[in-house]
Structure 1
Amino acid sequence: MPDLSTLVMFSSASVLLALAPGPDNIFVLTQSALKGKLVGLVVTMGLCTGLLVHTSAVVLGAAVIFQTSALAFHALKYIGAGYLLYLAWHAFRAGATRVDSQQTQEISLWRYYVRGIIMNVTNPKVSIFFLAFLPQFTNPDRGSLSLQLIVLGLLFIVATFVVFGAISLLAATLGQLLAKSDRLQILLNRVAGTVFVGLALKLATAER
């Protein structure tokens, strides 16, 4: 197990990294503002589930594939970019909706959870980041490296959930104010669509 000082240092770094603007927290922000805090929290849970996949990949060594194989890296990133463009298309077509609608709460939550997973898993740079970041805080003298990586991965997920959850709550408050105007809500959908297009272009042009 990592020692206490390592865990504190790693947790602090994880919080700062979660706060840094990136595709995942921007996605949480836009979805929370448009659909409410519940949807934002569900998206956050989906993103954190995706981080479990990346943690497992690092532990199993699968992340090395995306670092060493250009074909695998480009295939996954184009899948992710395509999915972001799909989300952008839906955002541009969306009209005004009520944030607290029963339909959104009962029917769409699973869809938003899966959307969060896909957003995270289809970004190969997350796997490469985990492969580069997590091992820096391991120590062979502290026991099983696999166990240390699992503990660090779980800590990163907890830090991400706390930060993204806070973003969800803050963005949802803004979204409730905007939702009083159908015109502003449609404008917010257009802004979200533009953000998705920008994220897709950034992912599609990313290099290892």
Structure 2
Amino acid sequence: MITFDYLLTSLIVVALPGTGVIYTLAVGLGRGRKASIWAALGCTLGIVPHMAASILGLSALLDTSAIAFETVRYLGVAWLLYMAWGMWHGTGAMKVTANDTPTSILKTLRDGILLNLLNPKLSLFFLAFLPQFVSANTPDTTGEMTVLGLIFMGITFGVFAVYGCFAAALRHRIIERPNVMRWVGKGFAAAFVAMGVKLLTAGR
């Protein structure tokens, strides 16, 4: 059953600053509103495998398999540091471009997908989060968890898109000040490094 508590909790979880929020903000500042929508979509698609694994019970395997968890964890840390490097040097998500090309759109989607796909904590989060809101007497647990998951995805995309559009609205004020743009990029890069360290040191 879809409850107000579930909607409110999901909104709070999604709205909290994380890698997806920072990535979408960076793309909005660097490439504008349309690109930020693609970034939001990529981040949303990146949670699909984690959500599916939770619904099917496969994320429990990740929790019990140290090798699988650590492999995904280190890949995730490496990707966060790679993204941080690009933001620091102004060649990644913060690179200022006027128009989107098919190549840049695919790259934006890919980067957003990998940011969430390579975070093993998401599988464990959904494994713990979704079942709390499944009705005790439901005849179809899988179906209800699927609906809950789809709603969470919708909220994720909506919130990230709002963040991206907000950043895009400020874009012209910031890109006219190269020094400000450079320091914003370095700030985003530092945030990604911090999140990489957090992922590296966090326990299962």
Do these two structures clear the TM 0.5 threshold for a shared fold by scoring above it?
yes
- Which AA in structure 2 matches 1:25? V
Contact 2:40 2:157 in 1 (8 A): yes
* CA drift at 1:19: 1.2
User: What is the alpha-carbon distance in structure 1 between the residues aligned to residue 5 and residue 47 of structure 2?
Assistant: 20
- Show the counterpart of 2:69: 73
Contact 1:48 1:117 in 2 (8 A): yes
**In 2 relative to 1, CA 35–191 (structure 1 residues): closer, same or farther, beyond 3 Å?**
farther
Q: In the alignment, which of 157, 160, 165 is matched to residue 156 of structure 2? A: 160
- Show the counterpart of 2:140: 144
| 1:112-191 equivalent positions in 2, closer than 5 A | 112-191=108-187
User: What is the alpha-carbon distance in structure 2 between the residues aligned to residue 24 and residue 152 of structure 1?
Assistant: 20
User: What is the alpha-carbon distance in structure 2 between the residues aligned to residue 175 and residue 206 of structure 1?
Assistant: 34
TM-score, normalising length from structure 2? 0.90
Q: In the alignment, which of 191, 195, 206 is matched to residue 191 of structure 2? A: 195
For residue 3 of structure 2, give the secondary structure of its aligned residue in structure 1. Answer: helix
The share of aligned pairs that are identical, in percent, is: 30
Q: Deviations over 1:94-139 (max 9, x none)?
A: 269544x12x444311101011110011111111010000011112
For residue 14 of structure 1, give the secondary structure of its aligned residue in structure 2. Answer: helix
Contact 1:46 1:112 in 2 (8 A): yes
Listed as ranges, the gaps of 5+ residues in structure 2 are none
User: What is the alpha-carbon distance in structure 1 between the residues aligned to residue 167 and residue 189 of structure 2?
Assistant: 16
For residue 141 of structure 1, give the secondary structure of its aligned residue in structure 2. Answer: coil
User: What is the alpha-carbon distance in structure 1 between the residues aligned to residue 81 and residue 96 of structure 2?
Assistant: 24
For residue 143 of structure 1, give the secondary structure of its aligned residue in structure 2. Answer: coil
How many residues are matched?
202
TM-score, normalising length from structure 1? 0.89
Q: In the alignment, which of 77, 89, 95 is matched to residue 93 of structure 1? A: 89
- Which AA in structure 2 matches 1:93? H
Moved more, 86-95 or 138-147: 86-95
User: What is the alpha-carbon distance in structure 2 between the residues aligned to residue 201 and residue 30 of structure 1?
Assistant: 20
